[in-house]
Amino acid sequence: MSPVFPMLTVLTMFYYICLRRRARTATRGEMMNSHRTIESNSRTSPLNAEVVQYAKEVVDFSSHYGSENSMSYTMWNLAGVPNVFPSSGDFTQTAVFRTYGTWWDQCPSASLPFKRTPPNFQSQDYVELTFEQQVYPTAVHVLETYHPGAVIRILACSANPYSPNPPTEVRWEILWSERPTKLNASQARQFKPCIKQINFPTNLIRLEVNSSLLDYYTELDAVVLHGVKDKPVLSLKTSLIDMNDIEDDAYEEKDGCGMDNLNEKFSSAVLREGPNNGYFDKLPYELIQLILNHLTLPDLCRLAQTCKLLSQHCCDPLQYIHLNLQPYWAKLDDTSLEFLQSRCTLVQWLNLSWTGNRGFISVAGFSRFLKVCGSELVRLELSCSHFLNETCLEVISEMCPNLQALNLSSCDKLPPQAFNHIAKLCSLKRLVLYRTKVEQTALLSILNFCSELQHLSLGSCVMIEDYDVIASMIGAKCKKLRTLDLWRCKNITENGIAELASGCPLLEELDLGWCPTLQSSTGCFTRLARQLPHLQKLFLTANRSVCDTDIEELACNCTRLQQLDILGTRMVSPASLRKLLESCKDLSLLDVSFCSQIDNRAVLELNASFPKVFIKKSFTQ
């Protein structure tokens, strides 16, 4: 046989491998927005017509600007057809998250970040939406009506929330992801990212957002899911083969944050015999530990499989003093916790926020883990961990005697009686109960026994009957309190404010946004200004009664003020704001949106005189 034919056979095989490589790359979502010269299309027959549907309902979210008892600025506005689009501006009928920019990270209430957070995990908030029909997604469109650009990840889930039978397996796949980017425009847009093809139908979509680069709150109006009922066939049109495609899968685990096979990595106890340890065994133990401290959790698991020396170092409990498992929420389960258990006997900071939902973590699995790893815990983050029940809080109160910080933000499925167990954690300095069903009796017990509290968040706690009683207890028992969040507390009055102002003189941050029962005419804001000289952040959002006298009192008494929100007042003039800006040299954020006396011209003049201050002025088209 001529030698030409074997050569043609080799070239044919090479070409086939490249095509296979292209197909695999395409399924990871790289094909649409890559610079490489490959085009992928979904071939659909006339019988497999595209289905276009708006979200049926919102089933879960991490935060929202709105109230639990209304529709204004709530995540529930994402269900159904658009309310606002294509109009631009600040509208109450949209979905708005609680924060924007980096302002909340600069407050006295801000927590220190966890080490070992993967650089490709930058999500701050999320919302999950269901759709009527399960489809293979071909497109996801997000209608953004104000300050777009917050969405950084879109995921699809294999579980059908409307199925009467629980799924045997729940899978999350990333359809699209990108790092946070700053858009210069605040106008409405229809965001249409190029998504990757997945091999299961879905009617559960999750948006994850990062608002750190935004100049103001992002507003979302609707989400549209395009898809087909039957699995599409991938068509490849290749004009040129990129030699980089035959390299190893450098980005195989990029979007999954390295958790796809983490359980297997945990359980790889048998090490292959190989060469010696090089010069690593000549280094001091502490130096190797310091080097490994810079690795992410999946990297530690990989490195543990290289040699016995590094396996010993990677499994040392000292490497797990701070353990952030939130980036791996989509994969973390009881098995993961079981494998981590022996390594986490010294863990002090533990972040399980967003984890364990839809059966991934059981009450028994969580309890077993804490019984082994809870004795040294100082900080426990459990935001949006919907597997929690009363038993879990009881285990926390018994197994974590040294706990100083507990975050139960948006754990809205916890029953009210569960919160009684928190009163046993007498060393608590930080407690976040935002959007929980804590009741007044349980909260009074917590305040009575947890007198070391310095940071307390009670925003949107709708089950509390009388906030004046709570404020009185805070003033009597929590003398060390530095930050207090009473966002959207429905019935606090000047009496409660008087108790807070006299009993908590160290307060540096106070959020009284959307508290409609406070009236400036009672002198409550003047009292705050005169008795709380250390205030750095004060939110009086949507209080229509704030007036020039209140602003002038702040200018005279609260010269350390850095952030002030007086959105919506009709009684503040540019002259009083100028006095405030002249007196408060550290002021960096001032929100005067919808203040009827502060027009755009006044904002421009103040900006010219005080260029270091970010003065926010929202608008409605």
Q: Is 311 exposed, middle or buried (0-12, 13-18, 19+ CB in 10 A)?
A: middle
Identify the weakest region by mean pLDDT among 104-113, 189-198, 234-243, 480-489: 234-243
Q: Residue 156 and residue 128: Cα distance in Å, rounded?
A: 9
Residues 6+ apart with CB under 8 A from 168: none
Averaged pLDDT for residues 465-494: 97
- Could you tell me if 606 and 573 are in contact, meaning their C-beta atoms sit under 8 angstroms apart? no
Q: Residue 22 and residue 398: Cα distance in Å, rounded?
A: 54
Q: Residue 84 and residue 95: Cα distance in Å, rounded?
A: 11
pLDDT at 13 over 50: no
Residues 6+ apart with CB under 8 A from 346: 317, 318, 320, 321, 376
pLDDT at 1 over 80: no
Q: Residue 124 and residue 240: Cα distance in Å, rounded?
A: 40
Mean pLDDT of the chain: 88
Full set of structural domains in the chain with CATH: 50-228 (2.60.120.260), 320-449 (3.80.10.10), 465-620 (3.80.10.10)
pLDDT at 168 over 90: no
pLDDT at 379 over 80: yes
In the structure, what pLDDT confidence band is assigned to residue 60 with cuts at 50, 70 and 90? very high
Q: What is the CA radius of gyration of the chain?
A: 27
Q: Is 314 exposed, middle or buried (0-12, 13-18, 19+ CB in 10 A)?
A: buried
CA distances (Å), origin 155, targets 63, 176, 203, 361, 393: 18, 7, 11, 20, 30
- Both tokens of residue 590? 């001032």
Task: Collapse the DSSP code of 259 into the 3-class scheme (helix H, G, I; strand E, B; otherwise coil) and give the result.
Answer: coil
Handedness of CA 593, 598, 601, 602 (dihedral sign): negative
Q: What 8-state DSSP symbol labels residue 448? A: H
pTM score: 0.88
pLDDT at 68 over 60: yes
**What is the structure's pLDDT at 232?**
84
Q: Which residue would you say has higher pLDDT here, 552 or 305?
A: 552
Q: Residue 586 and residue 560: Cα distance in Å, rounded?
A: 6
- Could you tell me if 258 and 296 are in contact, meaning their C-beta atoms sit under 8 angstroms apart? yes
pLDDT at 20 over 80: no
pLDDT at 30 over 90: no
For the beta carbon of residue 267, count every other beta carbon within 10 angstroms.
12
**What is the structure's pLDDT at 276?**
60
User: Using one digit for the tens of pLDDT, what is the confidence trace for 579-589?
Assistant: 999 999 999 99
